[in-house]
């Protein structure tokens, strides 16, 4: 028996490859499916089933691509409605994979069709449960995502039944394999581990404690942040279908000369620069938006970029295919090529470059007493800002900065010092402001992580937050 978790850090997403006696199954595959096909070839097994726990909202699944390449049927649980061919499983239905069995456990709550898959080993014993977004390590799936006209309270009530009747009744030793880990927006506060056991979760997970239905509903519906803007788009794509990856690649992987690149930009195509934030600030093609591959790239691209907007890329040399792949994972299919030779080619052609000035926190501390025209712009989430911030700082969460109404609240006649927690989001924010016509910008290196210990900067904490 082989059970392998294939984890993608920038999406906090886990897919699973299960194999036994010449047969295999894949659970919740990513859109770029070559890894599963190659793994099957290496192991000498045939992919027999593709199981989906639900319609994912945070990434485009590889179910259609993998089915096309392998001929394996796509399996969804009860109450699934899709515009492609799939096997609609019944609650309790069993599937064989070599000497293993997988049992369908319909667990609505995160979505109506949410389903867990219980794996039995060669001896018929419960081995693991693949919980999708129903149960995470330390959390459960949020009940406020895209299930028709149902309220989050109605879905939370369903989740209460699913957890108590289907999940908590499993053996304590059963391994829990969720679809996401820490950093995912599909829950409120996921634990750092990417797997656990039923017994451990019954002890440590707040949502599996003994409580009334009303207490449970209140517990899992409070404190929910606004979901990323791309979630409903990805859920729709997963339900209705998408272009094949080779088609996306054939268009996107076109090297563009400086002149061809300029022509596309002049025709309204946006420039996305995926180099490291520290490289971007030094020099970039004017009007570029920075979202570095080193961070949660796909999630921020999905949250900030309009899906209908054509893009051209500026990347580190050799990172073009990775960029296109990671964009496709969240549904972007309108990349029209990349700048051949990158920024160096642009400069060699005599074209102008722009830059963003980087400053250390101590420079900000020295400037504040002497500059009455200075704004500290904190682009962290509201919850981060409320927990601790520089006195007088203006909060402008990054996920809102593509909205002109939000940007209009930032005075473009002031000297703006932009920061986040560590320096990644602030560069994205500064590039957005540059594109909006702001010029007097400073990016604070190290973000609040360094600023909070800087002598001369006054830090504001809630009165109950302690010293």
**Using one digit for the tens of pLDDT, what is the confidence trace for 232-290?**
999 999 999 999 999 999 999 999 999 999 999 999 999 999 999 999 999 999 999 99
Q: Who's near 141: CB < 8 A, 6+ residues apart?
A: 109, 110, 111, 114, 132, 133, 134, 135, 159, 186, 187
Between 3.60.15.10, 1.10.1130.10, 3.20.20.70, 3.40.50.300, what CATH number should domain 2-233 receive? 3.60.15.10
CA dihedral 433, 438, 442, 446 (to 10 degrees): 0
What pLDDT score was predicted for residue 154?
A: 95
pTM score over 0.95: no
- Same fold for the pair 244-348 and 357-465: yes
Q: How far apart are CA 348 and CA 285, in angstroms?
A: 12
> Across all residues in the chain, what is the average pLDDT?
95
What pLDDT score was predicted for residue 10?
A: 87
Look at residue 123 and tell me whether its pLDDT is greater than 90.
yes
Q: Which superfamily does 357-465 belong to? A: Rhodanese-like domain (3.40.250.10)
pLDDT of 11-58, one tens digit each?
A: 999 999 999 999 999 999 999 999 999 999 999 999 999 999 999 999
Q: Is the dihedral of CA 407, 409, 412, 415 positive or negative?
A: negative
Query: Buried (b) or exposed (e) across 377-406, using 16+ Cβ within 10 A?
Result: bbbbbeebbeeebbeebbbbbbbbbbeeee
Q: What is the pLDDT confidence band of residue 145, given thresholds at 50, 70 and 90?
A: confident
Structure tokens at 296: 């949660």
Q: What is the pLDDT confidence band of residue 467, given thresholds at 50, 70 and 90?
A: very low
- pLDDT above 90 as % of the chain: 94
DSSP single-letter state for residue 36: H
- The domain ranges of the chain are 2-233, 244-348, 357-465
Q: What is the CATH number of domain 244-348?
A: 3.40.250.10
pLDDT of 303-324, one tens digit each?
A: 999 999 999 999 999 999 999 9
Look at residue 466 and tell me whether its pLDDT is greater than 80.
no
CB-based contact 395:385 (threshold 8 Å) = yes
Look at residue 464 and tell me whether its pLDDT is greater than 60.
no
Look at residue 149 and tell me whether its pLDDT is greater than 90.
no
Look at residue 188 and tell me whether its pLDDT is greater than 90.
no
What pLDDT score was predicted for residue 147?
A: 67
Of the candidates 12, 33, 13, which has an alpha carbon nearest to the alpha carbon of residue 325?
33
Please tell me the least confidently modeled range out of 165-169, 259-263, 456-460, 463-467: 463-467
């Amino acid at each position: 028996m082989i059970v392998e978790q294939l984890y993608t850090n920038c999406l906090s997403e886990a897919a699973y490859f299960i194999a036994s006696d010449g047969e295999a199954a894949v659970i919740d595959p990513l859109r770029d499916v070559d890894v599963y096909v190659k793994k099957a070839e290496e192991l000498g097994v045939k992919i027999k089933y593709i199981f989906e726990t639900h319609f994912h909202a945070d990434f485009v699944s590889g179910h259609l691509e993998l089915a096309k390449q392998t001929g394996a049927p796509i399996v969804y649980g009860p109450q699934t409605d899709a515009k492609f061919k799939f096997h609609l499983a019944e609650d309790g239905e069993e599937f064989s994979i070599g000497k293993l069995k997988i049992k369908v456990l319909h667990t609505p709550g995160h979505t109506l069709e949410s389903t867990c898959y219980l794996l039995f080993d060669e001896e018929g014993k419960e081995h693991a449960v693949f919980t999708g977004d129903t149960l995470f390590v330390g959390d459960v799936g949020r009940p406020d995502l895209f299930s028709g006209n149902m309220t989050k309270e109605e879905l939370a009530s369903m989740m209460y039944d699913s957890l108590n009747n289907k999940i908590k009744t499993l053996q304590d030793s059963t391994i829990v394999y969720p679809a996401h880990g820490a950093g995912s927006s599909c829950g409120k506060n996921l634990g750092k581990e990417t797997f656990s056991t039923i017994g451990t979760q019954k002890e440590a997970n707040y949502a599996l404690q003994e409580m009334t239905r009303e207490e449970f509903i209140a517990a899992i519906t409070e404190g929910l942040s606004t979901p990323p803007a791309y979630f409903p788009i990805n859920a729709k794509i997963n339900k209705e279908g998408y272009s094949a990856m080779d088609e996306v690649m054939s268009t996107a992987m076109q090297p563009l000369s400086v002149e061809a690149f300029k022509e596309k930009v002049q025709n309204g195509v946006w420039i996305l620069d995926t180099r490291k934030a520290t490289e971007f600030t030094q020099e970039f093609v004017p009007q570029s938006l920075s979202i570095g591959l080193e961070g949660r790239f796909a999630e921020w691209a999905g949250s900030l970029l309009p899906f209908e907007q054509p893009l051209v890329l500026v990347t580190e040399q050799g990172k073009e295919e990775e960029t296109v792949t990671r964009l496709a994972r969240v549904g972007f299919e309108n990349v029209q090529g990349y700048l051949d030779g990158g920024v160096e080619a642009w400069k060699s052609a005599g074209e102008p470059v722009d830059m963003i000035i980087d400053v250390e926190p101590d420079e900000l501390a020295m400037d504040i007493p002497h500059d009455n025209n200075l704004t500290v712009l904190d682009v962290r989430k509201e919850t981060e800002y409320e927990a601790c911030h520089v006195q007088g700082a203006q909060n402008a969460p990054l996920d809102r900065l593509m909205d002109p109404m939000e940007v209009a609240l930032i005075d473009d006649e002031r000297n703006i010092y932009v920061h986040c927690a560590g320096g990644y989001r602030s560069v994205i924010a500064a590039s957005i402001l540059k594109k909006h016509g702001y010029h007097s910008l400073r990016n604070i290196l190290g973000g609040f992580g360094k600023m909070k210990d800087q002598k001369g900067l006054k830090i504001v904490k809630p009165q109950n937050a302690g010293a």
